[in-house]
Amino acid sequence: MDHDSTPNPPAAAADPRAEVREFLTSRRARLTPDRAGLPAYGGNRRVAGLRREEVAMLSGMSVDYYTRLERGNLAGASDAVLDALARALQLDEAETAHLFDLARAANTGPVPRRAPRRTTTLRPSIQRLLDAITEAPAIVRTDHFDFIAANRLGRALYAPLFASASPNSARFVFLDPASQEFYPDWDRVSREMVAAMRGEAGRHPFDRRLTDLVGELSTRSERFRTLWATHNVRYHRTGDKRIHHPVVGDLELVYEAFDLPADPGLSMSTYTAEPGTASADALKVLASWAATSDSADLRPRTRVTDE
């Protein structure tokens, strides 16, 4: 795990034009002529991926207009233009939404509109819902990646993370050496974490707390800086999660994430195992351990403070 003190952390979206420029440039660079259905014109290409004129042709716009967009000027770009650009660059659902988010930020002007209030505290009824889920781990997090609540099994599953006074999954992944043992697929987890953070930064470009978190991780983790520069974006909705738990060992789980519409900024995630598998048996052992132990007493062997 790296804890590089190199300064110059990037802001989440301090310069919307730079965000647009770097995102579009990176998407153009990854799309080859072959994937786009274009002739490669031999091997003497000076740029990685498509040329600007090729993206412009695929988008049905002039080269000058596309060049303006790629330089970061999305002001006034219509939904039709953005849709055409997304199709030309073969953006997926998350990337297309990110492009529209960047366009909204570009159109706010130098003084952003007041952002909708987001929730950072838990309503008692949500905690009761968590507690009613007894056979699957469940947690609630904020869009700053703070874990603010869990049921008993969720707290047991993420015991090393909940050992922190202020559990935050992004800080755990990039600043706590225990995360590399906890996540056997740490490389993938770290990439997915940054891609999810990119999406949040696009939706909330003037969020001070998120900007500060990005700056902190950029300052302290070379791995985070490298991944942040890729401008990859993804949704965190469902997927596989491999965990090496310090008490019950290896778990292979499927997570489902749900936004809480009445509490903007909060989402709930649940974790299940395939019936009849070793992971399902391990979850039962974890439930027994959670019922007889205080999971908050389980501390990772090494911890780096958040300060």
CA-based Rg of the chain, rounded to a whole angstrom? 22
Tokens 């778990």 correspond to: 251
Q: How far is CA 165 from CA 109, 155, 265, in A?
A: 38, 13, 21
Rounded to 5°, angle at Cα 17 from 15 and 18: 70
Per domain, the residue ranges of the chain are: 16-106, 124-297
Superfamily of domain 16-106: lambda repressor-like DNA-binding domains (1.10.260.40)
Torsion angle in degrees (nearest 10) through CA of 151, 140, 218, 189 = 70
Give the pLDDT score at 42.
Answer: 54
Is the distance from CB of 148 to CB of 140 less than 8 angstroms? Answer: yes
Walking along the chain (307 residues) 10 residues at a time, the average pLDDT comes out as 47 70 94 84 70 94 94 91 96 95 77 57 92 96 95 96 94 97 97 95 89 96 96 92 96 96 94 97 94 56 33
Positive or negative torsion for Cα 165, 259, 253, 95 = negative
Give the pLDDT score at 303.
Answer: 34
Structure tokens at 18: 């730079």
Task: Say yes or no: domain 124-297 is CATH 3.30.450.180.
Answer: yes
Give the pLDDT score at 134.
Answer: 93
Phi–psi pair at 114, nearest 5 degrees:
-60, 125
| Residue 32 backbone class (left: φ over 0; alpha: ψ -120 to 50; beta: rest) | beta
The one-letter code for the residue type at 42 is: G
Is the distance from CB of 85 to CB of 69 less than 8 angstroms? Answer: yes
Beta sheet of 249-259, edge-to-edge order:
147-150, 138-142, 266-272, 249-259, 238-245
Give the pLDDT score at 2.
Answer: 56
Give the pLDDT score at 37.
Answer: 87
Strand-pair partners of 238: 256
